[in-house]
Amino acid sequence: MKQLALIAVFFLLASALVCADDQAKTQLREDTDDVDRMYWGEDLPHNDARAVRKYRQAAERGSASAQFKLALMYDSGRGVPQDYAEAVKWLRKAAAKGFVEAQYHLGSMYNSGQGLSQDDTKAVKWFRKAAERGSVGAQKNLGAKYGKGQGVPQNHAEAYIWSSIAANSGDEGAIKNRDFAASKLSPEDLGAAQKRAAKLHEEIQQRKAAQ
């Protein structure tokens, strides 16, 4: 009986923790949504400084969306003095949580060397993470990295694959990169790359739908 009672207490505590975690996540989403309405002037007059304060509050409580948006404020110097290092700090936090836009922007900052040391390998790392979760910009940039051999060995098949996936959105730059990569491949290699691109695109779309 004591064991049954202990098991019951354990499940009650576990259920309470799950509920508390769900409530915390819901509150963070609501906090960020409130700031978005404030920032875009839906509820209150547009005020960058006020938005920064509210984004910071939500970011410090762990909201990946708020961390990303606070990073953008520092990156553009809106509501705060422009500070690329601070932007990178908040991008890292959001990217580590799997926030796709933050992963893409962090890759872009490594690509340009803005706010940190330029590093093609790390740019590729973050572009790949975002690309695999559906970021068109990251897919396009990852394809370009393969085409130029920056941060990865040059590989025209991989350049074609990622450029082709990005080109499905109609991005003109990705279409040009895809066609250039195709011109570097033999008919056999191109056919294999096309099949791989189609399969990978389908997997990415399924992953996005499940998020």
- 80 with 131, same domain: the answer is no
On whether both 148 and 200 belong to a single domain, the answer is yes
pTM to 2 decimals? Answer: 0.80
Residues 84 and 141 grouped into a single domain = no
Whole-number Å distance between alpha carbons of 73 and 83: 9
Tell which phi-psi region holds residue 149, choosing left (phi > 0), alpha (psi between -120 and 50) or beta: left
In a domain, residue 9? The reply is: no
Do 159 and 88 sit in the same domain of this protein?
no
Q: How many structural domains is the chain composed of?
A: 2
Residues 126-158: tens digit of each pLDDT: 999 999 999 999 999 999 999 999 999 999 999
Q: What is the pLDDT of residues 164-204, one digit of tens each?
A: 999 999 999 999 999 999 999 999 999 999 999 999 999 99
- Confirm if 178 and 163 have CB atoms less than 8 A apart: yes
Task: Determine phi and psi for 98, rounding to 5 degrees.
Answer: 90, 15
Q: Are 150 and 74 found together in one domain? A: no
State whether 130 and 205 are in the same domain. Answer: yes
Closest by Cα among 119, 190, 184 to 152:
119
What is the domain extent for residue 158?
124-211
Domain of residue 64, CATH code: 1.25.40.10
- With beta carbons less than 8 A apart as the criterion, state whether 68 and 90 touch: yes
pLDDT at 34: 57
